[in-house]
Every structure is written in structure tokens, then in C-alpha cells.
Structure 1
Amino acid sequence: MTLQDELLEAISWAAAKGWTPATGGNFSVRTDEGYLVTASGVDKTRVSAEDLLRCDLDGRVLAGRGKPSAESDLHAALYRFEPNIGCVLHTHTLASTVLSRRFPEGIRLAGFEMQKALAGNVTHDAAITLPVVPNSQDMAELAAHVQAGWPMPWGFLVQGHGIYAVGESVAACRRHLEAIEFLLACTLEETRWTS
């Protein structure tokens, strides 16, 4: 399976879960010359190879039709300052949007077995924090917020916006995204009990 095929499969998987409402989200994979990324405004439930743009690491489009979303520049920045990132999957989910607004300093997780799905975690006994960065429509400013909080080995949440999962491969990134979303859904349920 090619990187393009893996990326398309990951996009379809996320869309089938309802994590890309109203054409939201953007998805990319690192290539030898830069990265492949979804074009702006594409319905992720019907994405195809023609909906992917080939870009260099400065975010310039090398090939493909359509235009990249503004957030493509954040993907480019992530690939530039962390050479181990091979994939970025960005979704808009209820839990990530609500919790990133409620806990702008980060979301603390402890005692969840699913924490072990996040690279580097070997026990549910550890406490970890999912980083939350302030939102901005200026991608250079948003990238600066992310870089100031690095390292973020699984990704981060953008306040009131959604999840940016990262991984060294498409498979690792998918695992991180699914684990983060599950952990956030659990945390959202817990906050309802204690409210």
C-alpha cells in the first residue's frame, strides 16, 4: 500500500466516525519532497486521490488541483521542526472542542488503560497531560504556540477547534488520534458526573 493509499484510508476512517463535520479537518503524510495534504473544502466522506495536493515543506503547492486550507501551513511547520513526524491527522470532534475550551491549560489524564496507546506510555498509573494551545487564524502564530509547547509526541488540541494528532507513520498517527479521542470522550463523561 502506498503512502497516498494509507492517507486516503485514514481520512475515510476518520470521516466514517463523524470526526470531519462540514468538510472540516485536514490530513497529511510526509513524502520525500514535502507532504501530501487534503485540499480545502473537500467532503472527507468522499475523498479521492484527486483531492490531495503535493506540497513542499514551505507549504507551496507542487501539484494537484484546488487549494490547500490555511491550516496546511501548520502541517508544513510541524514537518519542518520535527523530523520524526510522518503523518498529521486533524479532526473536529465534540469532546476535543468542548474540553479544550474548558481546560485551556491542558487536559490531565490518569488511570485510563488507553493511555498506553500513546507512544512512550507503559502504564495506566502515570498521569499525563494532553497539551492545549491557543487558537489563532494566523498559522505562523499558531505554529509558534505549538513550538513553544513542544515536545508533544502524540499531538495537541487547539482551543475550541479540535485535535492535531501526530505520529511517525500513518498507522501510529491513527492510533494516537483514536486513543486521544477515546480518552477525551471518557473525560467529557466524567466532567458531566462532577458538574
Structure 2
Amino acid sequence: MDFPTLAQALVDAGRFLSSQGWAPATSGNYSARLADNQVAITRSGRPKGRLTTDDIMVVDGAGQPLTPGQRSSAETQLHTRLYQQFPAVGAVLHTHSVECVALSRWYQRQGQDSLILTNYELLKAFPGITSHAMEVVIPIVANSQDMPALADEVLTQLAHVPYPVGYMIAGHGLYSWGATVAQALIATEALEVLVSCALRETRLP
């Protein structure tokens, strides 16, 4: 798709994610792959429920802005490294829901570095998952402000995952993706619901 089409798709995604309470304040960032190793991505500090296409900018494959004076998220490398590692990924969405933040912190305190989802019918929303009985592993990595190191850790963890569809940063939020913005949005919504289910199960006797 061309930049105007992808920019509008990211704007629409932001409005939906914000409406669900998954993008409080100015949190989150969204991107989509363009041609020539370029990436359309949200500009830093923009409320995601009120995005316009002017809030979408273009960076190169290393995350550097193509237009002087524009600034993307500090987490831009977490997007661009995924595009480099996984050619099938066409869009990446990052949310900050209460459920993902709470569950990731709880798992971290328990010494667990991944959430294993199984026996949920909604798992079939993900590519390659054909049965509720299959397992989807969501790595949970420690938060860091060192983006290159954090990206390295994410890719190391994802290398061991059979069907990589997302990961969580403890106390921070969820990253998920798909071949298109629409598919990334489906994956994000499914993961947010599944994480909410997993969190509620931790509270059951």
C-alpha cells in the first residue's frame, strides 16, 4: 500500500485501540512497512485516539526520520528490528492496557518469562493456529530504556517461539503484529482479550 493509505489505516487503528482503553494518554506506537525498506510510524507524544495522518511520519530501516525535525517514538527500533527479522510482518501495534501491564508484572514477580496460552478458542485468530489445543507463547521481557539491548533480547526470545504473534514488556505493554494493519489489529484485539482472560484466571481459587 502507499503511504497515504497506510497512514489512514494507522490512524483508524489508533482510534479503535484508544476506544478500548488500550492506549491511555499518549502511550503506544503503531507502524506499517513501506517499500524500499521504509516504515510509516506514529510521531512521538501524540494521543492515539486523536491521531490524524499528519501524525504519521516515515523512517528508514534503521529508524532514522526521513524528514528533518520530525521525531518518532523512542521505541522505533522495536518496530524496525521486527521488520528486519520477519519479512512477513507488515504492521506492528503497541498497546499499554491495564491487563497487559498488570499480568506482565505479576508474571515477572513469579519468575516467569512467558505467558503460554492454550485451550482458548480465540487462539484461532492467529495465523497457523488451527485448534484451541495448540499453544501460543508470548514472551515477557524486562523493561529497559536501552532500546538496542531491549530489541536484542526480544528477538532472542522470539527465536524460540514456534508461532510468534506478540510479546510483552513487563510493566510496559504489548507488541503484536500481522501481515497488514488490519491483521495486526485482529492479533492485538485477540491478545488483549486473551491476556485479560489469563489475568482473571490468576484470581480464581
TMscore range, shorter length: over 0.9
1:9 and 2:12 correspond: yes
Please state how far the C-alpha of 1:128 moved relative to its aligned partner.
Answer: 2.8
2:151 corresponds, among 143, 150, 159, to 143
1:191 and 2:198 correspond: no
1:125 and 2:133 correspond: yes
1:74 maps to 78
Unaligned runs of 5+ in 2: none
Which letter does structure 2 place at the counterpart of 1:163?
Answer: L
2:35 corresponds, among 4, 8, 32, to 32
1:171 maps to 182
* Whole-angstrom distance in 1 between the partners of 2:87 and 2:142: 24
* Whole-angstrom distance in 2 between the partners of 1:16 and 1:127: 29
State TM-score, norm by structure 2: 0.89
For 1:16-55, what aligned pairs fall within 5 Å after superposition? 16-33=19-36, 34-55=38-59
* Whole-angstrom distance in 2 between the partners of 1:68 and 1:4: 14
Please report the RMSD computed on the Cα atoms of aligned residues, expressed in angstroms. Answer: 1.5
Unaligned runs of 5+ in 1: none
Q: Secondary structure at the match of 1:80?
A: helix
Which letter does structure 2 place at the counterpart of 1:3?
Answer: L
Q: Secondary structure at the match of 2:153?
A: helix
State TM-score, norm by structure 1: 0.94
- The 8 Å contact of residues 31 and 92 in structure 2, kept in 1 or not, is answered as yes
Which letter does structure 2 place at the counterpart of 1:12?
Answer: R
Please state how far the C-alpha of 1:63 moved relative to its aligned partner.
Answer: 2.7
